[in-house]
């Protein structure tokens, strides 16, 4: 049995060593929040963190990940969706179909961790994930909202069921 440290828990699994991390997460460990989009590290839907570094898990053979490397998936970002990036995504209604958003959120979290006040150019560089629905402008607005600590800064005037407006 091979082992992976995922979301703070050491998990055992059986898979061929050349199996991409993505498929071990999805099929052996049941963590389906991380998505398959292209299989060639082009779209970013499979983005997870390996020791904090955003990593496209669809091309990373699971055998190359050491026992001490810590993997964080979308499920491990927060227990209840309370990470500031997740909250901003909800506040600004960023997702449309939502399929790419796990990867987008993971990429944004990594960006903001290393660069708490990213410029538009920083966002362009760091956010290389594909969204076919075209949520890019709301993603940008949500990243800036997190950086400013102000969910109303985007002025989208979205009315939430709890009575708040963002």
Partner 1 sequence: MSRAAIEMDRRRFLAAGASAGLVVGFHIPFAGTAAAQGSTPEVNAWVVVRPDDTVVVRVARSEMGQGTLTGLAQLVAEELDANWAKVSTEYPTPGQNLARKRVWGNFSTGGSRGIRESHEYVRKGGAAARMMLVQAAANEWKVPVSECRAASSVVTHVPSGRTLGYGHLAPAAGKLEPPANVTLKDPKDWKIAGRRLARLDTADKVTGKQMYGVDLKLPGMLNAAIKDCPVFGGKVKAVNEAAIRNRPGVKKVVRVGDSAVAVVADTWWRAKTALDALPIEWDYGPNVKESSATVAAMLKAGLDAPEAALGNQNGDARAALASASRVIEAVYSYPHQNHATMEPMNATARWTPERCEVWTPTQNGEAALAATSEAAGLPADQCEVYKVLLGGGFGRRGAVHDWVRQAVEIARQMPGTPVKLLWSREEDMLHGRFHPVTQCKLRAGLDAQGNVTALHMRISGQSILASVFPENIKDGKDPVVFQGLNPPGPEASIGYSFPNLLVDHAMRNPPVPPGFWRGVNLNQNTIYLEGFIDEIAAATRQDPLVLRRKLMAGHPKHLAVLDAVAERAGWGRPAPDVNGMKVYRGLAQTMGFGSYVAACAEVSVSNEGELKIHRIVAATDCGHAVNPQQIEAQVEGSFAYGLSAALFGECTLKDGRMEQANFDTYPVVHMRHMPKVETIVMPSGGFWGGVGEPTIAVAAPAVLNAIYAATGKRIRDLPLKHHSLKRA
Tell which one of 4, 6, 11, 20 touches partner 1 (CB under 8 A). 20
Q: Under the criterion CB under 8 A, does residue 73 sit at the interface with partner 1?
A: yes
Backbone φ and ψ for 25, nearest 5 degrees, come out as -60, -45
Span from 49-57, 64-72, 100-108, 145-153 in contact with partner 1 (CB under 8 A) = 100-108
- Annotate 60-109 with DSSP letters as a single string: SBGGGS-TTPEEE-GGGS-SSS-SHHHHHHHHTT--SS-TTHHHHHHHHH
Of the two residues 5 and 34, which places its CB atom closer to partner 1 in the complex? 34
Contacts of 68 (CB under 8 A, 6+ apart): 5
Which residue ranges make up the site for partner 1 (CB under 8 A)?
A: 15-16, 19-20, 23, 26-28, 30-40, 42-43, 45, 73-75, 77-78, 80-81, 86, 89-90, 93-102, 105, 123-125, 127-140, 156-162
């Amino acid at each position: 049995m091979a082992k992976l440290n995922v979301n703070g828990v050491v998990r055992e699994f059986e898979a061929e060593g050349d199996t991409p991390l993505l498929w071990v997460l999805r099929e052996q460990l049941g963590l389906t929040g991380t998505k398959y989009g292209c299989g060639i590290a082009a779209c970013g839907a499979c983005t997870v963190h390996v020791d904090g570094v955003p990593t496209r898990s669809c091309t990373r053979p699971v055998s190359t990940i050491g026992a001490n490397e810590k993997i964080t998936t979308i499920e491990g970002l927060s227990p209840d969706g309370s990470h500031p990036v997740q909250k901003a995504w909800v506040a600004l209604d960023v997702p449309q179909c939502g399929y790419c958003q796990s990867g987008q959120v993971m990429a944004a979290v990594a960006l903001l961790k290393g660069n708490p006040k990213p410029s538009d150019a920083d966002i362009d560089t760091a956010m290389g994930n594909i969204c076919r629905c075209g949520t890019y402008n709301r993603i940008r607005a949500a990243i800036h909202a997190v950086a400013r600590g102000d969910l109303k800064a985007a002025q989208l005037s979205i009315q939430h069921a709890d009575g708040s407006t963002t």
